[in-house]
Structure 1
Amino acid sequence: MVDRVTDWQTDGMCRGNHAHLFFPPTAFEKKDERERRETRAKAICEVCPVLADCRTYALTLREAYGIWGAMTESDRKRALAASAGR
């Protein structure tokens, strides 16, 4: 049986040459650099065939780092807080 998580992740457009855009560098990153990196990553997510699966995964597991499903850490925190307030 194929693991669904592994299955969708192999189809993500974030794999390969663009992977560096989805997580902050290990060194200091200026705010404007972070915003540019995140904008580029989100643009890739928006045309990715597994956007919905990725977003659901990140929200369900409360993924703490990186861009997942076109959402930053802050985006996910806001979405989770909003859904908890319903």
Structure 2
Amino acid sequence: MEDMFQVLVGTDDEAMSWQARSLCAQTDPEAFFPEKGGSTREAKQICEHCEVRAECLDYALANDERFGIWGGLSEMERRRLRRSA
């Protein structure tokens, strides 16, 4: 879990500069990777107030992120979004 944040924060790619402004980088990463069947409520509430939510979701969709909450959506929600697009 933390490895994901280290990879994103550690990159010099300007396209990833949104990550430094994300609220999730300032909170406990455990909330964004709940156990199977665990609550996603805390992570989604944080995402609601994040200024880079759209960039985060775009990243997750473009990179086929299969775990965690990205841009306020779970993997199941992102899968549904892909199907409807």
TM-score range, shorter chain: 0.7 to 0.9
Bigger relative CO (Cα 8 Å, ≥ 6 apart): 1
- Give the TM-score, by structure 1 length: 0.76
Which deviates more, 62-71 or 15-24?
15-24
Q: Which runs of 5+ in 2 are unaligned?
A: 1-11
> Distance between the aligned counterparts of 1:43 and 1:50, measured in 2?
14
> Distance between the aligned counterparts of 1:51 and 1:67, measured in 2?
11
Pairing of 1:1-86 with structure 2 (within 5 A): 2-5=13-16, 7-25=17-35, 31=37, 34-35=38-39, 38-83=40-85
Identity percentage over the alignment? 35
How many residues were matched structurally?
74
Q: Deviation at 1:24?
A: 2.8
| Deviation readout 1:11-30 (Å, 9 max, x if unpaired) | 110013321100135xxx5x
> Distance between the aligned counterparts of 2:73 and 2:18, measured in 1?
17
| Deviation readout 1:11-68 (Å, 9 max, x if unpaired) | 110013321100135xxx5x3xx12xx1110010010010010011111111111000
Runs of 4+ in structure 1 displaced over 3 angstroms?
A: none
Q: Which runs of 5+ in 1 are unaligned?
A: none
Letter paired with 2:24? C
Letter paired with 1:17? T
